[in-house]
Amino acid sequence: MTDLLPSVEALAARIPDGAMVAVPPDYTPGANALWRAAIRRGVRGLHLVGVPVFGYQGDLLIGAGCVATAETSAVTLGEHGLAPRFTAAVKAGSIRVLDATCPAVHAGLQAAERGAPFSVMRGLIGSDILARRTDWRVIDNPFGDDDPVVAIPALRPDFAVFHARKADRHGNVWIGVRRECMLMAHAARDTLVTAEEIVDGDLMADEATKAGCIPGLYVTALAEAKQGAWPQAVPGHYPADDVHLARYADLARTEEGFQRYLAETVLGREAAE
């Protein structure tokens, strides 16, 4: 059964140092209230997997010293520009980067979802990314003749972590059209979710919500967190705080500015409120 936890702090405490964590892109709600709690707790050494990319939440965690490895096909703040703390960490060599492509990330997760040792794809052949990913292997298609394919090993994160519009007390989580969250939940060992609200009833019993639900079978623990994705958006509920994100992008260009942001928004009065 899904554990219903009393706070995001209790949920964040489930993530140990060194865990491999899958997170969604910025157009899908990130569990930012949880990540602020994790930063305050001092989590370290995370292997962050962008599904298939990540932005604000990953940049914040990297800047706070929580990430050892970033595995993703891109890191960006979108219209707010480059992810400044990721960029600084790459230049300083303070994190390990595993380059990927969007289809390759999904292929690895799909293999884990099916319980298969690997998935195969062709699109990587001829690219120089193969030289940097020694864990990906070019093999012969056993059903073809002189038909090489790339084997992508199953990618099984310790945790999938994201925010949702709503969940119920059975642990069912409504994600709407955000199907990458379903894939993450299927592939990961454990799934931790924050939700704007935890409702009575059964979302899986309602035809209006069932198709967009992750069953509680795949959800390890969840906590209610109103405005839990802020400053990112929850589509249909509240928009992104673009003024705040622009300020983050500006401050995080320097280590001093980032530390000011961290003190104000994560460690200080705003975080408490």
In the chain, the number of structural domains is 2
Position 31, amino acid: A
223 and 135 in one domain? no
Note whether 96 and 171 are same-domain residues: yes
In a domain, 260, yes or no: no
Please, which pLDDT band fits residue 73 given cuts at 50, 70 and 90? very high
The answer on 215 and 83 residing in a single domain is: yes
Are 38 and 136 members of one domain? no
Residues 15 and 145 in one domain: no
Does a structural domain hold residue 272? no
Q: Are residues 68 and 161 in the same domain?
A: yes
Looking at residues 53-69, what average pLDDT do you find? 98
**206 and 108 in a common domain:** no
Cβ atoms of 164 and 193 within 8 Å: the answer is yes
pLDDT band at 144 (very low <50, low <70, confident <90, very high): confident
Percent of the chain predicted with pLDDT > 70? 98
User: DSSP letter at 266?
Assistant: I
Q: Residue 135, exposed/middle/buried by CB under 10 A (0-12, 13-18, 19+)? A: exposed
Query: Contact 120/150 with Cβ under 8 angstroms?
Result: yes
- Alpha carbons 61 and 138: distance in angstroms, whole number: 34
The percentage of residues in the chain with a pLDDT greater than 90, rounded to a whole number, is 96
244-263 confidence digits (pLDDT tens): 999 999 999 999 999 999 99
Please give the residue range of the domain that contains residue 80: 3-100+156-240
Same domain, 71 and 203: yes
Q: Write the CATH number for 233.
A: 3.40.1080.10
Are 166 and 217 contained in the same domain? yes
Cis peptide before 231 (omega within 30 of 0): yes
Q: Let me know: does 85 contact 258? Beta carbons within 8 Å.
A: yes
More confident site: 268 or 27: 27
35, 96: one domain: yes
Domain co-membership, 129 together with 179:
no
155: exposed, middle or buried (C-beta count within 10 Å: 0-12, 13-18, 19+)? buried
Tens of pLDDT, residue by residue over 170-223, are 999 999 999 999 999 999 999 999 999 999 999 999 999 999 999 999 999 999
Instruction: Let me know if residue 261 belongs to a domain.
Output: no
Residue 272 has pLDDT above 60, yes or no: no
For residue 254, being part of any structural domain is answered with no
